[in-house]
Chains A and B, each alone.
Chain A
Amino acid sequence: MSHEVFNWQINRKMTYWYPEHRPRRQFAGVFDINKCIACQTCSLACKTTWTSGKGQELMFWNSVETKPWGSYPTGWDVKALSLLGPQKWGADEYVGATVFEAAPKGERVLQYQPEDMDWCNVNLGEDECSGMIEKGAYLKIPHAVWFFYLQRICNHCTYPACLAACPRGAIYKRPEDGVVLIDQKNCNGHRECMKACPYKRIFFNVVTGTSEKCIACYPSLESGKSNRCFETCIGKIRLQGWINTPEKAQEDNPVDFLVHIRKVALPLYPQFGTEPNIYYIPPKQADPVFLRQMFGPGVDKAIATYKNAKDDPELLGLLLLQGSSDRIIERFKVKDGTAIGYTAKGAEIVRVPLKEPMYVRPYKDVALDVFRHNVT
């Protein structure tokens, strides 16, 4: 049943269980790791909205992990990478195997099932750095020891491993927005999707007996409003929108601009081959070798571009605009020190200054009969 499909993130054709088919629009997100504060507000927004019922205790559709020591379920990416084994990027394309190509005979995806105790310790490794501080230290970029935060939701992949693995065909991708859903009426709880998802973003509900996952807050998405984890992101690291394939990239589309035009945002573990649709701006402070393992060979250029943002008004403007509205910004423009966000049809949603103004009030306000001071 294997088909040949094109995955632009690895820049080559690969095999997948179903034939290539892209939705009319694809939901996508960009997460700026440099700005994430790991406050877990996104996690609480998600948890209190969708998964606070019985049977969902261990379920975190959204979570933020500290890398390198954090992971939920415990050890998910160490395990996924070691199953796949060391792989190679060529000059223009990924030349290693994807999780579909590396699947053992008779299976659709290279996979493993987490153990009971892996669903525990959701914030394992929080704020723990890569190496030891022994006494005083002086660190410069990139830091000799480091950590960074990795924000995790379902990637709503173009080639979802969960979808490929479901024996009942109960997982599907919505044509109108590319959101991947598990049909809760038809799921029988076999957990093949849990095994297959290399990102381990499928959770099992012990009360209902079904598997559940991030639904990209589609009831919100359908009304043009940001998803809960985007809406509540106080680090203002999250930008939500629609992504095109590279050849159809539009410069005024915020996601396209960051992913395809400036190439500052990169997919997580592109080598898995699922063409995930959440993109990350890699952190300046971390080890570039580790980052290349995680985000592919575009890391160095992405960091260089990001460091240059102060001299790149369009990039700076977009990065300051993101997270300033709870509506989805589908187009943007930066002009005269102001960044403006629009709907697809060009209606203005929000505008922000590239520098917050300073105001000086009158010391003596005669009309109101008051003196204004900074020390009161």
Chain B
Amino acid sequence: MDSKEKDPKREGTIASYNVSRRDFLKLASTLGFSGLAAGPLVSWLTPAFGQEVPSPLEKYPDRDWEESYRNLFRYDSDFTFLCGPNDTHGCLLKAHVKNGVIASISPTYGYGQSEDVYGNRASARWDPRCCQKGLGMVRRFYGDRRVRGPMVRKGFKEWADKGFPRDPSTGKPPAEFFQNRGKEPFVQVNWDEAFTMVAKGLENIARTYSGPEGANRLKAQGYDEAMIAAMDGAGTRTLKFRGGMPLLGVTRIFAKYRLANGMALLDSYIRGVGPDKALGGRGWDNYSWHTDLPPGHPMVTGQQTVDWDLFTVENSKVIVVWGMNWISTKMPDGHWLTEARLRGTKVVVVAAEYSSTASKADEVIVVRPGTSPALALGMAGIIMKEKLYNEEHVYSKTDLPLLVRTDTWKLLRASDIIKDYKLADLQNFIKVGDPKDFPPPPKTEVMYVPKQLREEWGDFVMWDVIKGKPVVITRDQVGKGFGKAGVGKPALEGEFDVTLVDGKTIKVAPIFALIQQYINNSLDVNTVSEITWAPKEAILSLAREIAANPRSVLLCTGMGPNQFFNSDLKDRAIFLLAALTANIGYAGGNIGSFAGNYRGALFNGLPQWVAENPFDIELDPKKPARPKLYWKSESAHHFDYGDRLLKAGDTTLTGKTHMPNPTKACLWSNRNSILGNAKWHFDVVNNTLPKIEMIATSEWWWSGTCEYSDVVFAVDSWAEMKFPDLYAAVTNPFCQVYPATPLPRILDTRHDMEVAAGIASALAKVTGDNRFADYFKFVQEGKVEAYLQRVINLSQTTKGYNIEKLKADAADGVPALMMNRTYPRVVGWEQAEEDRPWYTKTGRNEFYREEQEFMDSGENIPVHREPIDSTFYEPNVIVGSRQPSMKPKSPADYGIPDSTEDVENRQVRHVVKPWLEVGATQHPLRKNGFKFILHTPKYRHASHTTPTDTDSVAVWQGPFGDPVRRDKRKPFVTEHYLDMNPLDAKELGIEDGDYIYVDGDPQDRPYRGWKPGTENYKVGRMMCRARYYPGTPRGVTRMWHNVYTATFGSVKGHEERPDGLAKNPLTGYQAIFRYGSHQSVSRAWIKPTWETDSLVRKGYFGQAIGKGFEGDIHCAIGAPRESFVKITRAEPGGMDGKGLWEPAAKGLRPTYESAEMKNYLKGAYVS
């Protein structure tokens, strides 16, 4: 058995899979493997134990060998770590250590012991928590793509070593140091060198772009003047910091924002300004950058997102899983859905395909991608028409009865009709006053509104049909409080005359009536069925079912519909459906939007960490910090969009509050999404990166982002963290701690916080200002618990916890519970059950948007817009008959051509057409052979790109896995593929498993300015396998998101390495595509209604209400699921490019069925 002992030390590389085909066959034939040896072997067989053993069924003589498996199973010790990718779960896992190496990983079974300070306890039904990606980490911690130490790109090092020389007039660095970014080798340096280089780089860049000279340089480089002006002279504003999804490690990842705040010291040093004028860096968004934010949620509710801990599904009678693949993407919580179903909850799935979640549904409705607004409005229309709505809810918790003036299309205010009207003194869960008096968490008791904003709001008016006159409604009068308004019965339909204070009589109408008018005239059930492909019977049945179950229907939406350009309209429409049926805010009846681990405000004491005043640092670990925000949030979408603004002709549609600054330096943490997997990735690589002077990335795994970085800081993996950190999730109730682990560091890595601290200390040396070093004092001293305890003490969900206790429990595999108001956390519960107002100006769920930006877009009432690219029809057109309330600006108003062809103008093109006309139009690319919608949902084998190139996980990613890579064209042990309806593929002469090219709009994809025959184009054009997929409708293709893209290095590896792996010979980066990626066909999109200055919404932390931009709440979100593509056959799928792919050739694939397969499918083998 000795020779058969398995070596527990994992190589963590694909080396063990990397037997060449020739070696494999040689080995196989030596061993007589799989039919390669000739003839039967029976002739030389001999029994192992002679004749004395009559039956091994009964007993076996010598079982000592069994000890070898016991030895293999035994381990020396174990420890707990937290696996924390961007998956909205986060699991405490137990690592089993043998001979100093993690041999395997298991769940802790500690979740059933988690408690809060009140003695509330989760049940053992929460156990176990883990997934295949976490168990596969054992091959990643030791993998060959770990970042081994601080690495610097060769050209960047030369530029830095030469003292950052620049063109004296434009300030631009010489191209020679940047033109080989992504193509040249990295040099490993020591930590001090890396920190110093980045610190000097920050100082140099900030200095270059500070003051009037800096502004002139940026102007000479072609940046928009508004972007430059918004810097207020501070070069530090060109320094961009991004942590990553906040809950994934609140001090670890968010150390980047603390560093951004510290840049105020740098500004002070460079410009000689004091703490009152100094400005920090800019901090990029996360939730909205990932297109996880449902942008319509703040439009309806005034706060970030309505959602709930997934296990509340037990409280519902019906759950509608809408564009969300819960079964594939919410794995550890999959059982709550299947168990609720067992307990009698009806599961209805609305999806663009027959998905894994569809397979768990009682009813499945397959729809056309991007048509959710029409479907929801259509159902709302049925409920309105059949009067199935819940009157009490509609009257008391929505703006639907509020009156709108038909002259201005603004809400009618009490002051419009009552002379010298005095605003109501609001008292229901609100304080109006001066923002400087608003308390921070944990003392935030009610909502806080600046006096000026409250005055802007005014008070509102309903029409009382009993009294036959208008009645004033204040923000306080919601829920039970509505009774105090003295309205007999509010009008929902009709039009009424009111006399204004100036004596003029105008017509007013309830919002309900305006919306109903649009739906009645535009989206009757037959039309909705045509638009959405949902059978009429399905639409009627679901609408009536939702209406029949007030407070018990969960409308559970996911990334699917959110990643279309009409995402905000989708939210507003689905909320309308929920509002009509009293399904908002209840444990069993609510809306949820599930994507991304976003709600940093769950730790609303975070300003203690991300905004401690760098000019006034608290060095007593027992005392709280005194936060002062010097960094400013910014949407990374503008960087992705080419560091440009959204414009319509000469008109800037990016709101002033949203104004980005030019990007010159980037400091990023945490994985691949910001660059390696950016929307329009190849445009960023080809057109935006050349303008950026320094990219410093903290990573533990060499990602696509690292490929294009200048400096890569090697950080600890989750298994080897030496500092504790906090973690929470938006889908479960746990407060988790990353325990510091006993595993020695495998490579020359440091903790993320040490990287921030190291850069700060180097800045202290560069500037002579020791406050930089003090700013991270407890990190340098290894006492980060002081920072964590400050966050815990000031957060409303954790106050009462002690970091030492949390750490000790976590080390035992037991988390604590987040102490929100309820378990499960249900957003809107206080509004539903305790009659609090929402965070809107009316205190109600708002469906009418009177702000000018919405009026200009024709979206003051929720409408259906066709997708901006993913449609067979005219893109982005507003579908319906034009209503008097709709006053969109036309292309001519902006001085732009009314063309559907131009992709940029399409974003700001507001054209209204009834479905009868739209249905007869065509996407402009159809005449050029483009036929397919391509959408890119997320899937079970990845949480973002985190595990997709771990070999043992990757082989499960689809049908093309082969651990020994018999076909050397494969980029890896698996490869990526596009799912097509088999009949569509056949029409194009594409066989199952063939290689194909997939092209997006040639105007700007893969990138603006591409040229055939160039290396850049070859790297950027997508090639992949085609899979015959019977579950997707014709015309709709799908590719799972989050696979590593081709880079210059991976293509070089694929073409030049003897093994054909798409692996960068210089860096080891591993692509899962031979060429291009799913990001070859998507682009950055910005919608005007995402960038208003007027939308009222709660701030990020706490209860204060403001308006306009707020990072991760009201800002650009992109539309990465949008693309319309052309597909062409590239190579045959058979081995080495010959013939048919093996499983198809064997008759085991859809449309290739052998006679045996046909019988099997029919169930004909038994009767």
Contact = CB atoms under 8 A, between A and B. Distances in A.
Interface string A202-238: 0011111110000101111000000010011111100
A136 B535 contact: yes
Interface in A113-157: 113-117, 119-141, 143, 145-149
Contacts of B983: 132, 134
Most buried by B among A18, A204, A218, A359: A359
B34 A232 contact: no
Nearest to A160: B57
Contacts of A190: 41-42, 45
A271 B819 contact: no
Contact of A206 (B27, B65, B136, B828): B27
B307 to A, nearest CB: 10
A351 interface: yes
B33 A116 contact: yes
A260 B965 CA distance: 45
Contact of A138 (B3, B54, B537, B964): B537
B57 A86 contact: no
A246 interface: no
A12 interface: no
A114 to B, nearest CB: 7
Interface of A is mostly: loop
B70 A219 contact: yes
Given A86-B1167, A163-B56, A361-B820, A356 B314 contact: yes
Given A132-B981, A136-B368, A43 B964 contact: no
A374 B826 contact: yes
Given A52-B16, A293-B1164, A310-B342, A37 B1034 contact: no
A123 B961 contact: yes
Contact of A376 (B27, B343, B796): B796
A309 B338 CA distance: 12
B1148 to A, nearest CB: 5
A363 B68 CA distance: 58
B315 interface: yes
Given A44-B952, A48-B952, A135 B1033 contact: yes
Given A122-B961, A376-B820, A116 B342 contact: no
Interface in B1112-1167: 1142-1143, 1146, 1148-1150, 1154, 1156-1157, 1159-1167
B821 A219 contact: no
Contact of A115 (B35, B49, B338, B353): B35
Contacts of B958: 123, 126
Contacts of B365: 136-138
Given A21-B57, A136-B534, A234-B334, A41 B132 contact: yes
B124 A324 contact: yes
A189 interface: yes
Contacts of A169: 47-49, 53, 56
Given A44-B952, A68-B1161, A326-B128, A368 B799 contact: yes
A362 B328 CA distance: 36
A372 interface: yes
B584 interface: no
A145 B1148 contact: no
A368 B441 CA distance: 13
B130 interface: yes
B135 A233 contact: no
Contacts of B136: 44, 48
Contacts of A189: 31-32
Interface in A269-325: 271, 283, 285, 287, 289-293, 296, 309-310, 316, 319-320, 323-325
Nearest to B91: A234
Nearest to A85: B1165
Interface string A27-39: 0000000110111
A43 B954 CA distance: 12
Contacts of A136: 365-368, 529, 532-535, 1033
Contacts of A50: 6, 69, 72
Given A43-B132, A69-B1149, A316 B1165 contact: no
Interface in A62-88: 68-69, 71, 74-75, 77-79, 81-82, 84-88
Contacts, number: 503
Interface in B39-71: 41-42, 45-49, 53-60, 62-63, 65-66, 68-70
Nearest to B339: A320
A84 B1160 CA distance: 12
Contacts of A268: none
B332 interface: yes
A121 B960 contact: yes
A186 to B, nearest CB: 4
B344 A310 contact: yes
Contact of B820 (A45, A309, A373): A373
Contacts of A78: 1148, 1154, 1156-1157, 1160
A366 interface: no
Contacts of A141: 362-363
A320 B1146 CA distance: 42
Interface residues of B, number: 180
Given A38-B940, A134-B1034, A376 B961 contact: no
Interface stretch (B104-112, B277-285, B1012-1020): B104-112
Interface of B is mostly: loop
Nearest to B357: A37
Nearest to B535: A138
Interface string A321-354: 0011110000000000000000000000011111
Contacts of A351: 124
Interface string A150-176: 000000000110010011111111110
Interface string B521-561: 00000000100111101100000000000000000000000
B825 interface: yes
A189 B66 CA distance: 18
A81 B1163 CA distance: 10
B800 interface: yes
Given A35-B338, A39-B132, A325-B109, A219 B1033 contact: no
Interface stretch (B491-499, B649-657, B1024-1032): B1024-1032
Contact of B7 (A53, A127, A185): A53
A374 B829 contact: yes
A248 interface: no
Contacts of B327: 37-38
A91 interface: no
A371 interface: yes
B822 interface: yes
Contacts of B328: 37
Interface stretch (B115-123, B474-482, B885-893, B1042-1050): B115-123
Contacts of B960: 121
Contact of B962 (A120, A131, A183): A120
B940 A368 contact: no
A123 B1031 contact: no
Given A232-B135, A356-B125, A370-B442, A292 B1163 contact: yes
A115 B537 contact: no
A47 interface: yes
28 contacts: A37-B338, A43-B956, A45-B106, A48-B139, A52-B6, A57-B963, A82-B1160, A86-B1159, A115-B35, A132-B1150, A133-B1030, A136-B366, A138-B364, A143-B364, A145-B1030, A172-B60, A183-B60, A189-B32, A291-B1163, A325-B127, A326-B109, A350-B112, A352-B124, A353-B123, A358-B587, A361-B819, A371-B444, A374-B825
Given A57-B963, A136-B529, 19 more contacts: A37-B940, A43-B956, A48-B135, A50-B6, A53-B6, A82-B1165, A86-B1164, A115-B35, A121-B961, A128-B1031, A138-B366, A160-B57, A167-B42, A219-B72, A324-B127, A351-B124, A361-B819, A373-B796, A374-B822
Shortest Cβ-Cβ A-B pairs, 9 listed: A136-B533, A172-B56, A172-B60, A167-B45, A138-B538, A289-B1163, A53-B6, A310-B344, A219-B73
